[in-house]
Amino acid sequence: MSATRSVKWETCLRPGCGLFLSLCLVFASVAQGFAYQTDPSLSQQLPQAAEQSLEQLQQLVAPIALYPDSLIAQILPAATYPHEVVEAEQWIEQHKDLTGDRLAQEADKQAWDPSIKALTQFPAVLANMNQNLAWTSELGDAYVNQQQDLSTAVQVMRQRAQQAGILKTTAEQTVTTQGQTIVIQPATTDVVYVPQYDPWLAYGAPLAVFPGWYPYSGLFLDTPGVFFGLGFAVRPFYGFGWGWRNWAFDWHRGGRVVFNHNTYISRSTTIVNRNNFRSNRFNFRGADSHGRGFAGHQTFHSPTTPHIPEGTHSGAFGGFGHGGFARGNSSRGQSSVGGFHGGGRR
């Protein structure tokens, strides 16, 4: 018996057999690792970020709630890629000579998410997202984890603006009510006007400023109104899969963003999908696709009192430095004759 065993062990100690045994040990170790990772108790040990209240979400969406639906449908996914927002804004600054077809063609070559490419049509919006990265990433987090609540918050703010006489149909936009839903669409198909307004004063009662919000220098409104200063031509982008006509917002199905007739799903590794924790699928925040990593969103603070220095006004969410408030032709867009709405002065 001992001789037989000796022969068997001698055979198994040959080089080929040694490799086989090593592989067996590796696979056993990996299997044990997977068994640990799928332990339901692990998800309970992970820190869970608290969901934002409706009041906090209303404060969060105040800067964009009065934008056209399709523009919001581009901003929300883009907010899940804050590192690409920074890259795209820097790229725009370095290529100010690009407009129209040339801008669309060059933007299409970049390795960005379609939502980021789409926002190159609106450099003013992109610049503001870059200026307020804490707000941007917080917005992206809410879009990934609280879509329905975020959609509700937008509608609540629109209702407030409508009741305050701020949100209405103008030469630049069409405002309609479908049941309990307020829809905002551009008045024309070729030019989109981005309203410029003080997000903390445009909804009737003043809102607390989002923590860390930094208004653009020189962009101030001293009334709770809306100004249509610049229109962005979107026709040059029609021929690209990420262009204006490929985005929509579905208010009736959980606040979904629709991209090319399908529900948009963010693939960002920057924003944590906390729903994955509940299903034992882990999507840890890590480095971005360029290997640099990003700090991501910060903890949402309770609404604070406006912290703008006395004697000044919070900045309008618009396009300073990118043609905003232009009165003549602009390389980034064209002026509107709609002017100021809401009882303020022009």
Per-residue pLDDT at 261: 61
DSSP for 116-153, please give it: HHHHTT-HHHHHHHHHTHHHHHHHHHHHHH-HHHHHHH
pTM: 0.67
pLDDT tens for residues 74-130? 999 999 999 999 999 999 999 999 888 888 889 889 999 989 998 988 888 899 899
**Strand intervals (E) in the chain:** 173-178, 181-186, 191-193, 196-197, 226-233, 247-250, 256-259, 262-263, 334-341
pLDDT tens for residues 151-206? 999 999 999 999 999 999 999 999 999 989 999 999 988 888 988 888 888 999 88
